[in-house]
């Protein structure tokens, strides 16, 4: 089975991310995005990055997607007033995106042939290893990210609060 | 987990880069073709995730845990970004009764 798992999951990721941007109903987009993030979690597990897999599962699929769904339900958008761009702009956008992917893959073809991905250290992505890294050389950025989260929380509360007249 | 790591062997690094490039491009197409601010936001999340996957693949390739630490930081950043961005969208909706980004063209000129 070997590498076929990777190709199957990669196909599912691409398929569901296409569904995200082409679904008419925003709620369907959110649900497809959750499935896409689940396939990314499988990718992390295949790469043996278990800590990232768990964080992706909890933070992205748990917290961020619930936030999206919550706001979507709060705003009460229904299909009728869903804004759609004109057909010409859609075609132009898709053509521009195809140009981007052709450029990226073409420039990649120009480089040397890549060697297969081999995991040298089996406990590279485990919590023990990453924790030592996080609290060693990356101590300051780790603490700064907590201030970033605090700032974001204060900002979100201030932005959504109704101002008293 | 020993068997799981064996399945990894043999996928070329190029295929991870192709997958990330394709998903990043899907995010770009989503930003270009949709008008609903929330869907545009979700496309930005797709782009962030494509970059995360690529960082992890390169981290495994070069046997360096720093890449995975950076992915962790990007996830924290994305959480903060989503909180602030969605609150801005809620505020815009309160003022204009829609999440259409074409309504917000006052800063265009």
Residue bearing tokens 């192709």: B18
What is the average pLDDT across A135-154? Answer: 91
HEC assignment per residue over A90-142: HHHHHHHHHHHHHHHHHHHHHCCCCCECCCCCCCCCCHHHHHHHHCCCCHHHH
Mean pLDDT within A64-84 = 76
Taking CB atoms and an 8 Å cutoff, what residues of chain B touch A131? none
Which residue shows structure tokens 């702009």?
A89
pLDDT bracket for residue A25 (50, 70, 90)? confident
Inter-CA distances, B62 with A165, B54, B107, Å: 58, 12, 45
What is the distance in angstroms between the Cα of B54 and the nearest Cα belonging to chain A? 10
Distances (CA, A) of B63 to A63, A129, A134, B58, B79: 30, 12, 16, 8, 27
- CA dist A7 and A13 (Å) reads 10
Chain A residues whose CB is inside 8 A of the B10 CB are 2-3, 116-117
CB-based contact, B36 to chain A, within 8 Å: yes
Those residues with Cβ within 8 angstroms of residue A27's Cβ, 6 or more apart along the chain or in another chain: A69, A72
Q: What percent of chain B has pLDDT over 90?
A: 40
Q: Is B107 part of any domain?
A: no
| The pLDDT of residue A81 is above 60 | no
Average pLDDT over residues B21-31: 92
Task: List the domain range (segments joined by +) for residue B18.
Answer: 12-98
* pLDDT value of residue A78: 61
Residue A129 contacts B, CB cutoff 8 Å = yes
Chain A residues touching B25 at Cβ < 8 A = 97-98, 100-101, 104
The phi, psi pair for B12, rounded to 5°, reads -70, 150
pLDDT attached to residue B13: 83
B105 lies in a domain?
Answer: no
CB contact under 8 A, B45 and A33: yes
Statement: A4-91+125-160 belongs to CATH 1.20.1090.10: no
Reading phi first (left if > 0) and then psi (alpha if -120 to 50, else beta), residue A2 is in: left
How is residue A157 annotated by DSSP? H
Number of domains in chain B: 1
Q: Is residue B7 within 8 Å of residue A5, measured between CB atoms?
A: yes
Does B47 map to a domain?
A: yes
- Residue B83 forms contact with A (CB below 8 Å): yes
**Span A60-73, mean pLDDT?**
87
Is B28 a residue whose pLDDT tops 90?
yes
pLDDT beyond 90 at A107: no
Residue, of A149 and B99, whose pLDDT is higher: A149
pLDDT at residue A83, rounded to an integer: 60
Among the residue ranges A38-52, A73-87, A116-130, the one predicted with the least confidence is A73-87
Looking at the domain assignment, is residue B7 inside a domain? Answer: no
Mean pLDDT check: name the lowest of A79-83, A147-151, B89-93: A79-83
Give the distance from residue B105's alpha carbon to the nearest chain A alpha carbon, in angstroms.
15
Burial of residue B97 (CB within 10 Å: 0-12, 13-18, 19+) is exposed
Tokens, residue A6: 């990777």
* Confidence (pLDDT) at B80: 92
pLDDT of B23 higher than 90: yes
* Residue B50 falls inside a structural domain: yes
Which CATH number do you get for residue B89?
Answer: 1.10.287.3510
* Cβ contact, residue pair B30, A122, below 8 Å: no
Which residues are registered as beta bridge partners of A84? B34
Q: Would you state the pLDDT for residue A62? A: 86
Q: What is the predicted pLDDT for the residue at A149?
A: 92
The answer to whether B35 touches A23, Cβ cutoff 8 Å, is: no
> pLDDT tens, B42-77?
999 999 999 999 999 888 888 888 889 999 999 999
The domains of chain A are located at 4-91+125-160
A99 in reach of chain B (CB within 8 A): no
How is residue A22 written in tokens?
């082409």
* Mean per-residue pLDDT of chain A: 85
Q: Is B83 exposed, middle or buried (0-12, 13-18, 19+ CB in 10 A)?
A: buried
């Amino acid at each position: 089975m070997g590498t076929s798992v990777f190709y199957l999951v990669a196909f599912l990721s691409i398929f569901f991310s296409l569904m995200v941007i082409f679904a008419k109903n925003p709620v369907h987009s959110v649900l497809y995005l959750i499935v896409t993030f689940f396939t990314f979690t499988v990718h992390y597990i295949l790469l043996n990055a278990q800590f990232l897999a768990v964080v992706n599962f909890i933070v992205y699929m748990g917290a961020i997607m619930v936030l999206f769904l919550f706001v979507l339900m709060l705003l009460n958008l229904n299909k009728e007033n869903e804004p759609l761009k004109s057909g010409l702009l859609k075609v132009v956008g898709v053509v521009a995106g195809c140009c981007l992917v052709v450029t990226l893959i073409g420039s990649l073809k120009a480089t040397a042939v890549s060697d297969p991905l081999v995991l040298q250290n089996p406990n590279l992505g485990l919590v023990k290893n990453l924790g030592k890294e996080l609290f060693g050389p990356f101590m300051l950025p780790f603490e700064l990210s907590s201030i970033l989260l605090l700032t974001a929380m204060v900002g979100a509360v201030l932005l959504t609060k109704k101002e008293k007249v | 987990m020993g068997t799981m790591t064996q399945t990894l062997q043999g996928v070329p690094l190029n295929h991870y880069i192709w997958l990330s490039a394709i998903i990043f491009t899907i995010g770009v197409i989503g930003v270009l073709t949709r008008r609903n601010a929330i869907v545009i936001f979700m496309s930005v999340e797709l782009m962030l995730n494509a970059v995360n996957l690529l960082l992890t693949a390169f981290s495994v390739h070069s046997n360096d845990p720093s890449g995975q630490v950076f992915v962790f930081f990007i996830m924290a950043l994305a959480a903060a970004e989503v909180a602030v961005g969605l609150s801005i969208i809620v505020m815009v909706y309160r003022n204009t009764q829609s999440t259409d980004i074409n309504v917000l063209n006052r800063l265009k000129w």
